[in-house]
């Protein structure tokens, strides 16, 4: 593994200082519902690290660095895909932020045992080769190219002898597809690690949050308002809002790490 990261540093330096890879990310938070599309960004910062997150989160990180204020947060903890890979330290972690702006990080220690297959093809302008791997209780098929000598890819997927261009799970719930390559920013802003957790600790936090997602707001006694659909802020029915959030979490519970799925009732 140490050799892999030293090679990764070498290849990143050879390819260029900072690169930005944009992916179309299609997924089903509920397998019965329609597909969600997000624009995701993989920022590769020379031989130091890479940060994978949504375009919106990337913009928010830059705003926070400049002004201290960022964009809104997702009410579902499982529906987040923010990954930081530290090449030099051989560390990868998933970052999760709740509606109160608390940040948690989970160290990703599951090994990716890639099987590189002989099948080759072409995607866009790139010659690609097929590979398979298991991660998060799902089986994945990837296409990578050695024409981009960066052993990285979307989300946690790394370690192939080139960039992952396309990858999807065998249930077709999660699909990543490279759409654009650009020179990256000189300075890459990203979240701090926050409170480091293991999966069991995350499960406890997520379950407590689900039991009463607005508990912290209620405890302050401050008025909580919502949009009435016509642009007007009106006092919220806290019980109704709580029930709506719990229903949303319960019905959109198809996490990418299926082996760490929490049973919400």
Question: Can you give the residue range of the structural domain that contains 143?
Answer: 1-265
The span from the CA of 2 to the CA of 114, in Å, is 17
Q: How many residues does the chain have?
A: 265
27 touches 174 (CB < 8 A): yes
Lowest mean pLDDT among 195-199, 216-220, 232-236: 232-236
101 φ/ψ angles, rounded to the nearest 5 degrees: 70, 15
Closest alpha carbon to 259 in 169, 165, 194: 169
Closest alpha carbon to 29 in 249, 259, 262: 249
pLDDT tens per residue, range 34-84: 899 999 999 999 889 999 999 999 999 999 999 988 877 788 999 999 999
Predicted model pTM: 0.90
217 band by pLDDT with thresholds 50, 70 and 90:
confident
Q: Tally the domains of the chain.
A: 1
Closest alpha carbon to 165 in 34, 24, 33: 24
* Beta strands 103-107 and 115-123, pairing class: unpaired
């Amino acid at each position: 593994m140490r050799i892999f990261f030293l090679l990764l540093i070498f290849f990143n330096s050879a390819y260029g200082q900072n690169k930005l890879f944009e992916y179309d990310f299609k997924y089903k938070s509920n397998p019965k519902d329609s597909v969600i599309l997000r624009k995701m960004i993989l920022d590769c910062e020379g031989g130091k690290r890479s940060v994978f997150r949504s375009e919106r989160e990337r913009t928010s990180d830059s705003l926070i660095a400049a002004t201290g204020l960022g964009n809104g947060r997702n009410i579902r903890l499982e529906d987040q895909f923010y990954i930081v890979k530290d090449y030099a330290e051989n560390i990868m972690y998933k970052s999760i932020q709740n509606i109160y702006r608390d940040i948690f990080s989970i160290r990703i220690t599951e090994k990716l045992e890639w099987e590189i297959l002989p099948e080759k093809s072409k995607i866009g302008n790139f010659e690609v080769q097929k590979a398979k791997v298991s991660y998060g209780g799902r089986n994945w098929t990837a296409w990578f190219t050695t024409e981009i000598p960066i052993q990285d890819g979307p989300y946690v997927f790394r370690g192939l002898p080139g960039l992952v261009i396309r990858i999807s799970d065998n249930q077709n719930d999660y699909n990543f597809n490279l759409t654009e390559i650009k020179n990256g920013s000189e300075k890459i802003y990203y979240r701090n690690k926050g409170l480091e957790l293991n999966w069991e600790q995350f499960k406890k936090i997520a379950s407590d949050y689900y039991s009463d997602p607005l508990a912290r707001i209620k405890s302050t006694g401050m008025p909580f308002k919502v949009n009435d659909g016509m642009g007007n802020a009106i006092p919220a029915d806290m019980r109704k809002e709580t029930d709506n959030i719990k229903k949303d979490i319960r019905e959109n519970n198809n996490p990418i790490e299926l082996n760490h799925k929490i049973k919400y009732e």
